[in-house]
Amino acid sequence: MAGPDTEGHWGATSRLMWIALAIWAFFAFVIHFFVNILNNIVILGFPLGFYMAAQGSLIAFVVLLFWFARAQNAIDSKYGVAEDE
Amino acid sequence: MATESKITSGDFLNNLGKVYGIYAGGFLAFVVVLAILEQLGMPDRVLGYLFVGFTILVYAIIGVLSRTAQVSEYYVAGRKVPAFYNGMATGADWMSAASFVGMAGTLYALGYDGLAFVLGWTGGFVLVSVLLAPFLRKFGAYTVPDFLAARYNGNLVRLLGVIVLVACSFTYVVAQVYGTGIIASRFLGLDFQIAVYAGLAGILLCSMLGGMRAVTWTQVAQYIVLIIAYLTPVVILSAKNYGIPIPQLTYGEALQDITAREQEIVAQGLNVGNTLKPYITPFLSYDRLNYFALILCLMVGTASLPHILMRYFTTPSVRDARKSVAWSLLFIFLLYFTAPSYAAFAKLEVYTNVIGQSLDQLPSWIGTYSNLGLVKIYGVTLQGLAGSIGAVKAAVAAGAADAAGVAVALQSKGLVSELATWSTLVDPVKAVVFEAVKANAAVTAQEIFQPAIHAAATAAGNTTNLLGHSGLSIDNDVIVLSTPEIAGMPYVIAGLVAAGGLAAALSTADGLLLAIANALSHDIYYKMIDTHAPTARRLIVARILLFGVAVLAAYTASTKPADILAMVSWAFSLAAAGLFPALVLGVWWKRANRWGAIAGIIVGFGICLYYLVGTRYFAVGFYEMWSGLSGASEAAVAKYNDLKAAFEGAAPEVKAAAWKALDTHAQTIANWFGVRNISSALFGLPAGFIAMIVVSLLTAAPSKQMQEFIDEIRRPKGKELMEGGNLVRDVH
In the predicted structure, residue B386 carries a pLDDT above the cut 60: yes
Mutate to test the interface with B, among A6, A7, A32 (most CBs of B within 10 A): A32
Cβ contact (<8 Å) for B337 and A32? Answer: no
pLDDT value of position B20? 95
Kindly state whether A4 is in contact with chain B, defined as any CB-CB distance less than 8 angstroms: yes
Q: Using a CB-CB distance cutoff of 8 angstroms, which residues of chain B are in contact with residue A85?
A: none
**How close B334 comes to chain A (CA, Å)?**
10
Mutate to test the interface with A, among B107, B108, B119 (most CBs of A within 10 A): B119
Q: Please list, in sequence order, all residues whose beta carbon lies within 8 angstroms of the beta carbon of residue B706, skipping any fewer than 6 positions away.
A: B151, B153, B590, B731, B732
Could you tell me the pLDDT band of residue B1, with boundaries at 50, 70 and 90?
very low
> How far is Cα B344 from Cα B250, in angstroms, rounded to an integer?
10
In the predicted structure, residue B5 carries a pLDDT above the cut 50: no
> How far is Cα B211 from Cα B209, in angstroms, rounded to an integer?
6
Could you tell me the pLDDT band of residue A37, with boundaries at 50, 70 and 90?
very high
Kindly state whether A58 is in contact with chain B, defined as any CB-CB distance less than 8 angstroms: yes
Q: Using a CB-CB distance cutoff of 8 angstroms, which residues of chain A are in contact with residue B256?
A: 42, 45
At position B103, the amino acid (one-letter code) is M
Q: Model ipTM?
A: 0.97
What is B6-349+488-587's CATH number, 1.20.1730, 1.10.3470, 1.10.10, 1.10.443? 1.20.1730
> How far is Cα B139 from Cα B723, in angstroms, rounded to an integer?
10
Minimal-distance CA residue of chain A relative to B329: A62
Is B678 in a helix, a strand, or coil? helix
Kindly state whether A30 is in contact with chain B, defined as any CB-CB distance less than 8 angstroms: no
Burial class (CB in 10 A: 0-12, 13-18, 19+), B223: buried
Kindly state the DSSP code that residue B274 receives in the 8-state scheme: S
Kindly state whether A20 is in contact with chain B, defined as any CB-CB distance less than 8 angstroms: yes
Minimal-distance CA residue of chain A relative to B325: A65
> How far is Cα B230 from Cα B342, in angstroms, rounded to an integer?
10
Q: Using a CB-CB distance cutoff of 8 angstroms, which residues of chain A are in contact with residue B322?
A: 68-69, 72-73
Mutate to test the interface with A, among B298, B332, B590, B717 (most CBs of A within 10 A): B717
pLDDT value of position B32? 95
Contact B235, B341 (CB under 8 A): no
Q: Using a CB-CB distance cutoff of 8 angstroms, which residues of chain B are in contact with residue A49?
A: 112, 282
Q: Using a CB-CB distance cutoff of 8 angstroms, which residues of chain A are in contact with residue B255?
A: 45-47, 50
Cα B580 to its chain centre, rounded Å, is 21
Q: Among partner residues B119, B131, B253, which is closest to A57 by beta-carbon distance?
A: B119
When pLDDT is averaged across residues B438-444 and rounded to a whole number, the result is 91
**How close B283 comes to chain A (CA, Å)?**
10
Query: CB atoms < 10 A from the CB of A1, how many?
Result: 4
Q: Residue B720: which of B256, B138, B267 has the closest Cα?
A: B138
What's the pLDDT tens digit per position in B52-83? 889 999 999 999 999 998 999 999 999 999 99
Q: Using a CB-CB distance cutoff of 8 angstroms, which residues of chain A are in contact with residue B336?
A: 58
> How far is Cα B532 from Cα B697, in angstroms, rounded to an integer?
36
Burial class (CB in 10 A: 0-12, 13-18, 19+), B606: middle
Give me the helix-helix angle, B103-110 and B115-127, nearest 10°. Answer: 130
Q: How do beta strands B472-474 and B375-377 pair?
A: antiparallel
pLDDT value of position B181? 85
What's the pLDDT tens digit per position in B587-630? 999 999 999 999 999 999 999 999 999 999 999 999 999 999 99
Q: Please list, in sequence order, all residues whose beta carbon lies within 8 angstroms of the beta carbon of residue B651, skipping any fewer than 6 positions away.
A: none
Could you tell me the pLDDT band of residue B9, with boundaries at 50, 70 and 90?
low
Q: Among partner residues A43, A51, A69, which is closest to B326 by beta-carbon distance?
A: A69
Cβ contact (<8 Å) for A44 and B249? Answer: yes
At position B625, the amino acid (one-letter code) is M
Q: Residue B47: which of B345, B353, B490, B387 has the closest Cα?
A: B490
Q: Residue B542: which of B76, B171, B151 has the closest Cα?
A: B76
> How far is Cα B650 from Cα B642, in angstroms, rounded to an integer?
12
**How close B698 comes to chain A (CA, Å)?**
25
When pLDDT is averaged across residues B20-38 and rounded to a whole number, the result is 95
Cβ contact (<8 Å) for A17 and B131? Answer: yes
Backbone angles phi, psi at B446, to 5 degrees: -55, -45
pLDDT value of position B199? 85
Q: Among partner residues B317, B333, B340, which is closest to A62 by beta-carbon distance?
A: B333
Contact B678, B294 (CB under 8 A): yes
Cβ contact (<8 Å) for A53 and B125? Answer: no
At position B308, the amino acid (one-letter code) is I
Cβ contact (<8 Å) for B118 and A58? Answer: yes
Is the CA virtual torsion A68, A69, A74, A77 positive or negative?
positive
**How close A23 comes to chain B (CA, Å)?**
10
pLDDT value of position B74? 94
Per-domain boundaries in chain B: 6-349+488-587, 350-486, 589-701
Convert A16-28 to b/e letters by CB count within 10 Å (16 or more is b): beeebeebbeebb
Cβ contact (<8 Å) for A65 and B115? Answer: no
> How far is Cα B373 from Cα B395, in angstroms, rounded to an integer?
23
pLDDT value of position B503? 94
Could you tell me the pLDDT band of residue A33, with boundaries at 50, 70 and 90?
very high
Q: Among partner residues B112, B292, B329, which is closest to A29 by beta-carbon distance?
A: B292
Where in B593-682 does DSSP place strands (E)? none
Q: Among partner residues B126, B249, B282, which is closest to A20 by beta-carbon distance?
A: B126
**How close B330 comes to chain A (CA, Å)?**
6
Kindly state the DSSP code that residue B671 receives in the 8-state scheme: S
When pLDDT is averaged across residues B134-155 and rounded to a whole number, the result is 94
Cβ contact (<8 Å) for B323 and A69? Answer: yes
pLDDT value of position B732? 63
Backbone angles phi, psi at B727, to 5 degrees: -65, 140
What are the CA-CA distances from residue B39 to residues B51, B365, B498, B528 (Å)? 16, 21, 19, 60
At position B653, the amino acid (one-letter code) is E
Q: Among partner residues B126, B252, B714, which is closest to A65 by beta-carbon distance?
A: B126
In the predicted structure, residue B476 carries a pLDDT above the cut 90: no
Cβ contact (<8 Å) for A72 and B249? Answer: no
> How far is Cα B517 from Cα B388, in angstroms, rounded to an integer?
44
At position B730, the amino acid (one-letter code) is D
pLDDT value of position B565? 67
Cβ contact (<8 Å) for A9 and B715? Answer: yes
What are the CA-CA distances from residue B53 to residues B5, B309, B524 (Å)? 24, 31, 36
Q: Residue B607: which of B692, B664, B520 has the closest Cα?
A: B692
In the predicted structure, residue B394 carries a pLDDT above the cut 70: yes
pLDDT value of position B443? 93
Average pLDDT, chain A: 94
Q: Please list, in sequence order, all residues whose beta carbon lies within 8 angstroms of the beta carbon of residue B540, skipping any fewer than 6 positions away.
A: none
Query: CB atoms < 10 A from the CB of B5, how many?
Result: 16
Kindly state the DSSP code that residue B3 receives in the 8-state scheme: T
> How far is Cα B725 from Cα B532, in angstroms, rounded to an integer?
12
Q: Please state whether the predicted TM-score (pTM) of the whole model is above 0.90.
A: yes
What's the pLDDT tens digit per position in B117-127? 999 999 999 99
Average pLDDT, chain B: 92
Cβ contact (<8 Å) for A69 and B256? Answer: no
Query: CB atoms < 10 A from the CB of B460, how many?
Result: 16
Mutate to test the interface with B, among A34, A83, A84, A85 (most CBs of B within 10 A): A83
When pLDDT is averaged across residues B519-547 and rounded to a whole number, the result is 93
**How close A81 comes to chain B (CA, Å)?**
5
> How far is Cα B675 from Cα B608, in angstroms, rounded to an integer?
12
Kindly state whether A74 is in contact with chain B, defined as any CB-CB distance less than 8 angstroms: no
When pLDDT is averaged across residues A61-74 and rounded to a whole number, the result is 98
Q: Please list, in sequence order, all residues whose beta carbon lies within 8 angstroms of the beta carbon of residue B541, skipping any fewer than 6 positions away.
A: B521, B525, B526, B533
Cβ contact (<8 Å) for A65 and B253? Answer: no
Kindly state whether A61 is in contact with chain B, defined as any CB-CB distance less than 8 angstroms: yes
Convert B109-119 to b/e letters by CB count within 10 Å (16 or more is b): bbbbbbbbbbb
pLDDT value of position B473? 92
**How close B57 comes to chain A (CA, Å)?**
34
Cβ contact (<8 Å) for A50 and B255? Answer: yes
Minimal-distance CA residue of chain A relative to B248: A55
From A23-32, A67-76, B11-20, the region with the lowest mean pLDDT: B11-20
**How close B643 comes to chain A (CA, Å)?**
38
In the predicted structure, residue B537 carries a pLDDT above the cut 80: yes
When pLDDT is averaged across residues B403-425 and rounded to a whole number, the result is 89
Could you tell me the pLDDT band of residue B311, with boundaries at 50, 70 and 90?
very high
Cβ contact (<8 Å) for A61 and B125? Answer: yes
Contact B80, B526 (CB under 8 A): no
In the predicted structure, residue B387 carries a pLDDT above the cut 80: yes
